Amino acid sequence: MQMTSEDLIEVTEFTWPKGYDADSTHAGLKPDQDDMGWIYSEEPADAAGVYTTNQFQAAPTKLTKQTINLAHKLQAVVMNAGNANSCNGSQGETDAIMMQKMAADRLQIDPHMVGIASTGVIGEPLPMAKIKAGISQLKLTKNVGVTKAILTTDTHPKTITVKCLIGGKVVTTTGFCKGSGMIHPNMATMLGFVTTDAAIAGNDLQQLLSATVDETFNQITVDGDTSTNDMVVVMANGAAGNDPLKETDSDYPTFVVAFKKVLTHLAQEIAGDGEGASKLVEVNVTGVYDHLEGQQVAKAIVGSNLVKAMIFGEDGNWGRIMQAIGQTTAHVDLDGVSIAINDLQLVKNSLGTGIDDAEVSKTLNQPKVTIDVDLNAGQASGTAWGCDLTYKYVQINASYRS
């Protein structure tokens, strides 16, 4: 690929960055799809991670956090769907360590260079014979099947590749994730993996990841629940050949924009693929006292079951948006709030504009619904993403284990 400095950032067809391999296989954890996979860097990579805040943090999540925190280095991540290995006590912790060791032995690297990730049903022992068989089948290929092997109730893989020019070198950053239900800040029932061939120190990568997750994955919600297994892991192996990135570098902002584009896209993909969802919902709040309040209000609106049901029913009942705003502690001009849905202004100066209900219903029939709110209380803003609440959501979760 030829790039010039004018190109800066480009979204391309999904591909692995330089120096990475990946593969997937069917280990029998799920009946009809690949359910195990890995990603592998030819050279040890700098690494960073963020993890669920649920008090019942699953054994694989806890172990990966411990592993990355040793030196912010990883060379591989092995993952499975169909079983979360969560709430399994000391046996779950032993099985997580064994899964890590099996992958390390297969790759002939140190176990402390392997992260592990699991997703699926909570409280069922990890079937180690199937895990062992699955790991034995994984190869070092450029297979993209791993993007499907982590899916649970997702309807499709969620992927993106972004290229940018750093120090005259083309840097590729690729991300994929899963997540559909049990999604609420902090993070989701999600596993997210980002690989890049950029050179950036692990501590700097950690700082960038944590800040970017706050603006992306922590601003999505589907059902108000936080999983035991959530994590996002990033590996940076330096194979692009750029000098290690620092905040003071002139090219650093370019990498930050490319990196945020990857995480933003994945976050929106998760929100739009919420269990049973028919619409992606984006909430943009302006006129806010500070950014934190903007994020709080946007999240409150997109997370309100009344708002979500309103959008599913294609009913322009803007009072539900007002009540969601009022439940927060944000500064609000009580006589100066404006609300628009897909550019149709429903509220001005906290009063209804009298717009025709049929016109509102028509715009709510779109696959993406954008709610713009002005609190008239400052200069800051905030954004969050979610989806509508449908009959299908209840159907899926009423029979999740069957």
Give the integer Cα–Cα distance in Å for 235 and 257.
17
Length of the chain: 402
**H/E segment holding residue 80:** strand 73-80
Residue 285 bridge partners (DSSP): 373, 382
Q: Residues 64, 147, 189, 286: which is the catalytic one?
A: 189
Instruction: Name, in order, each residue with C-beta under 8 angstroms of 138's C-beta and a sequence gap of 6 or more.
Output: 23, 24, 25, 36, 37, 38, 78, 106
Number of H helices and E strands in the chain, helices first, is 11, 15
Give the integer Cα–Cα distance in Å for 215 and 226.
17
Query: Is 329 assigned a catalytic role?
Result: no
Give the integer Cα–Cα distance in Å for 373 and 135.
49
Give the integer Cα–Cα distance in Å for 132 and 110.
17
Find the largest Cα–Cα distance for the chain: 68
Give the integer Cα–Cα distance in Å for 39 and 45.
12
Q: Which residue ranges are tagged as binding site for substrate?
A: 152, 178, 189, 275, 397, 402
What does each C-alpha distance from 143 to 22, 113, 158, 235, 325 come to in angstroms?
5, 21, 15, 18, 46
Residue 51 bridge partners (DSSP): 231
Give the integer Cα–Cα distance in Å for 76 and 100.
10
Q: Which residue ranges are tagged as binding site?
A: 152, 178, 189, 275, 397, 402
Give the integer Cα–Cα distance in Å for 322 and 340.
12
**H/E segment holding residue 312:** helix 305-312
What does each C-alpha distance from 268 to 265, 272, 285, 322 come to in angstroms?
5, 6, 17, 24
Residues marked active site are found at 189
